[in-house]
Chain A
Amino acid sequence: DVKVTQSSRYLVKRTGEKVFLECVQDMDHENMFWYRQDPGLGLRLIYFSYDVKMKEKGDIPEGYSVSREKKERFSLILESASTNQTSMYLCASINLPYGYTFGSGTRLTVV
């Protein structure tokens, strides 16, 4: 089975901190995604990557950046964390036609 691993389940950070969320997949997938999930809003795409060093903005990229230096690792960076970035963050990789495989999520609280 494909494994997508997010390094932290829970994080608490202070406003203004630079935050790194890490995601690793073990199946050599080219395409990886970062979503945030908020009640009533579903999943919203932040950034995605279809190859090493390639990235594209999703629907809500403001305040975020990403890094993909190796195929298996896709990092989400909050340049200066703010309270409105408190959310559940989900990483996924895709293997059509089987769909996305998601990580367990990182619940980030910014205080």
Chain B
Amino acid sequence: AQSVTQPDIHITVSEGASLELRCNYSYGATPYLFWYVQSPGQGLQLLLKYFSGDTLVQGIKGFEAEFKRSQSSFNLRKPSVHWSDAAEYFCAVGPTGTASKLTFGTGTRLQVTL
């Protein structure tokens, strides 16, 4: 069965510092991979996705992620974090089954200090 691991529950970075959030997945075929962001009290917003082609994908808000098949990883990066990036970030993999389910990680909460 597919699974997603986000090993960091909570990360704190200073504003202006670089950021990397880790995501490892287990999947039996070529995956679709996603990163979502959730601000407090809100639903989840898609940051970026990978499903084929260039392994470095660009997303919204200056985020990027790199698909590394050999490491089963899809880490999210940002060169310079802004205070507004404080949120919870979820990695997801899929699709599976009739309804194309996605499997989500348990999330990484990002705190940004000024």
Residues of A within 8 A of B (CB): 4, 30-31, 33, 40-43, 45, 48-50, 56, 58, 90, 92, 94, 96-105, 107
Contact = CB atoms under 8 A, between A and B. Distances in A.
B83 interface: no
Given A96-B32, A99-B34, A33 B99 contact: yes
A41 B41 CA distance: 16
B106 A40 contact: yes
Secondary structure at chain B's binding surface: helix, strand, loop or mixed?
Answer: strand
A48 B101 contact: yes
Contact of B49 (A50, A56, A97, A103): A97
A74 to B, nearest CB: 11
A48 B99 contact: yes
B99 A50 contact: yes
Contacts of A90: 43-44
Contacts of A100: 34, 36, 44, 46, 92, 102
Given A33-B99, A56-B99, A96-B32, A104 B104 contact: no
A106 B105 CA distance: 21
Contacts of B51: 96-97
